[in-house]
């Protein structure tokens, strides 16, 4: 039985002269591969639908033996023209896509991933501001959406609210903040921990509560940006098992 579903096209390749394989992301299935038979020559069933970074309404079926997924036809919803025309935006979009591919998003996490990636693409397509920090914001927000939700504004030991004092630490493994009073009282954090400023804690809390539409207006000083990016990389590496090395995401 065929179903109709919106999908974001992540990757496309040929496997025979006229046939195409497509890697897709949908809310109900997560990331999966499908075949568009005759897709490279179609002038009716897939007009403008089989390009990466396209948002498409597909009719999706199965092979006769139900051993692979088939795209029967598609209707282009949007192809993000500004992203395609701007190499910097294209690179950021591809970086975000590579990240969700490396995570191997399945049906359980499909809804949150699909929504976050579409919102990020929409923001990139319509924004003219500074974009260099977007990949870190995307990775942080994705990790939070997967259920890793640290409380950045309260000490995990005594519950006190984060203030302007210096000497806070953040434990990567438990996602826990420790205040200077608890640390000096002999309550160190277990495992990997890093010093963290109150400005960075507030920035991370803001990212946790934000949406991609908010990111273009964010302003952080260089020290906060550096600490945020370092902690995001450590947090992603520990909880998702991924690190960014030499232009690709690797399992760690």
Q: Which domain holds residue 135?
A: 82-252
159 and 70 housed in the same domain: no
- Beta bridge partners, 61, equal 70
Q: What is the pLDDT of residue 94?
A: 94
70 and 91 housed in the same domain: no
CATH code of 233's domain: 1.20.1440.120
31 and 98 housed in the same domain: no
Q: What is the pLDDT of residue 165?
A: 75
139 and 236 housed in the same domain: yes
Last residue of a domain, one of 52, 79, 106: 79
SS3 145: helix
Q: What is the pLDDT of residue 92?
A: 94
Q: How far is CA 103 from the centre of its chain?
A: 9
159 and 223 housed in the same domain: yes
Last residue of a domain, one of 30, 46, 79: 79
Distance separating alpha carbons of residues 56 and 167, to the nearest angstrom: 50
Q: What is the pLDDT of residue 202?
A: 93
133 and 158 housed in the same domain: yes
CATH code of 25's domain: 2.40.50.140
Last residue of a domain, one of 20, 53, 79: 79
35 and 50 housed in the same domain: yes
33 and 93 housed in the same domain: no
190 and 107 housed in the same domain: yes
Question: pTM of the prediction?
Answer: 0.89
Written as tens digits, the pLDDT of the chain (252 aa) is 789 999 999 999 888 778 899 999 999 999 999 999 887 776 678 888 999 999 999 999 988 787 889 999 999 999 999 999 999 999 999 999 999 999 989 999 999 999 999 999 999 999 887 788 899 999 999 999 988 899 999 998 889 898 877 889 999 988 899 998 888 877 767 788 889 999 999 999 999 999 999 998 777 888 898 999 999 999 899 888 888 777 778 887
Instruction: Reduce the secondary structure of 57-117 to three states and give it as a string.
Output: EEEEEECCCCCCEEEEEEEEEECCHHHHHCHHHHHHHHHHHHHHHHHCCCHHHHHHHHHHH
Strand duo 242-245 + 248-251: pairing:
antiparallel
53 and 124 housed in the same domain: no
How many domains are there within the chain? 2
193 and 220 housed in the same domain: yes
Please count the CA atoms within 13 angstroms of the CA of 232 that sit on its side-chain side.
Answer: 25
60 and 126 housed in the same domain: no
């Amino acid at each position: 039985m065929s179903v109709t579903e919106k999908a974001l096209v992540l990757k496309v390749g040929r496997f025979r002269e006229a046939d195409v394989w497509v890697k897709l992301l949908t809310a109900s299935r997560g990331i999966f591969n499908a075949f568009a038979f005759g897709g490279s020559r179609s002038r009716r069933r897939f007009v403008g639908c089989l390009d990466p970074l396209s948002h498409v309404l597909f009719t999706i079926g199965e092979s006769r033996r139900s051993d692979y997924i088939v795209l029967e036809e598609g209707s282009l919803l949007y192809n993000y023209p500004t992203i395609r025309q701007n190499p910097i935006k294209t690179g950021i979009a591809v970086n975000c896509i590579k990240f969700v591919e490396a995570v191997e998003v399945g049906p359980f996490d499909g809804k949150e991933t699909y929504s976050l990636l579409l919102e990020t693409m929409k923001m990139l397509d319509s924004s003219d501001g500074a974009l260099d920090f977007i990949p870190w914001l995307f990775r942080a927000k994705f990790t939070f959406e997967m259920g890793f939700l640290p409380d950045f504004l309260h000490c995990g030991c005594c519950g006190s609210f984060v203030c302007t004092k210096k000497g806070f630490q953040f434990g990567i493994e438990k996602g826990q903040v420790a205040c200077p009073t608890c640390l000096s009282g002999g309550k160190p954090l277990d495992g990997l921990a890093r010093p963290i400023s109150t400005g960075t804690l507030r920035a991370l809390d803001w990212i946790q509560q934000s949406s991609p539409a908010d990111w273009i207006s964010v302003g952080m000083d260089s020290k906060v940006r550096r600490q945020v990016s370092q902690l995001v990389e450590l947090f992603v590496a520990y909880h998702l098992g991924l690190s960014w090395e030499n232009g690709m995401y690797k399992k760690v």
